[in-house]
Amino acid sequence: MLGLLPGTKEDTACCRDFLRDLKARGLVDPIAVITDGAPGLMRAAEEVLARSIRQRCLAHKMRNLQSKVPEQRWRELLPAARGAYQAPSVALARLAAEELVNRWQQELPAAVRCFEDDFEACIAHLRLPIAHRRVTRTTNLLERLFGEERRRTKVIPHAFGERKVMKLMYASLIRASQTWRGVTVTEFERKQLDALRDELNAQFEQGHATAPRNTAQTRTYLQQRWDLTIKTAGIKAD
């Protein structure tokens, strides 16, 4: 566990402040960050952890998708959705997604829109080593802890304030975090992660390298407009 802070709501500002606090205390952008579908959290993760890939929680996504599909059709669509989300590679995932869209677009347009929404984030875990994908495609580790917190506060709701709830969550997280270290990393997987890290850094640098050129072009354009304005007005510039 790296951090625990209270927040008033799940908006971008609160999530951004939390992630910035982690970075201020020394956190380097992780290779992957897993979020649910909260827009504020997704936006904050992409802004603050710009060198990371963002994985959308597939447990949440599948529940959202199921809510838009009639029960009698869910048995047919479920294998196709899983086949796309858990394909062997990103390329195969995109092919499977295309087949699903072509098959269900006319009959279940709302479900297809839900499936396509944030799809690249849903398959981001496919860029990780195979043995790591199962534990990085959902946020279920935390969801179970939130359930425990709600179970306790529901019984005696008036006995809890922010400080006591924080202590309860801290104790639960510290204990549960001992089980989060069960993922082993082989030497081959380490090389895979290093290669992915280099790729993410290169993408980040490339994305930010274009900014100065665009800025320079904008300044040149503005200077040309200013010179033209001066000449038109008949004013001699210093």
The pLDDT score that the predictor gives to residue 217 is 57
Share of the chain above pLDDT 70, in %: 80
Mean pLDDT for the stretch of residues 37-51: 91
Of 134-138, 157-161, 216-220, which gets the smallest average pLDDT? Answer: 216-220
The better pLDDT of the pair 102, 150 is held by 102
pLDDT at 218 over 60: no
The better pLDDT of the pair 191, 223 is held by 191
Mean pLDDT for the stretch of residues 88-113: 95
Q: Residue 229: pLDDT band by 50, 70, 90 thresholds?
A: low
Mean pLDDT for the stretch of residues 134-157: 73
d(CA 156, CA 161): 11
d(CA 27, CA 53): 15
pLDDT at 203 over 50: yes
**Signed CA dihedral, 160, 164, 170, 172: sign only:** negative
- Beta pairing partners, 55: 34
Mean pLDDT for the stretch of residues 32-48: 91
pTM over 0.85? The answer is no
Q: Residue 28: pLDDT band by 50, 70, 90 thresholds?
A: very high
Length reported for the chain:
238
Mean pLDDT for the stretch of residues 166-194: 84
- Long-range contact set of residues 126-129: C-beta below 8 Å, sequence gap at least 24: 126/87, 126/88, 126/89, 126/90, 126/93, 127/53, 127/90, 127/196, 128/31, 128/32, 128/192, 128/193, 128/196, 129/185, 129/188, 129/189, 129/192, 129/193
Mean pLDDT for the stretch of residues 26-40: 91
Q: What is the mean pLDDT of the chain?
A: 84
pLDDT at 237 over 50: no
The pLDDT score that the predictor gives to residue 178 is 79
Q: Residue 219: pLDDT band by 50, 70, 90 thresholds?
A: low
pLDDT at 98 over 50: yes
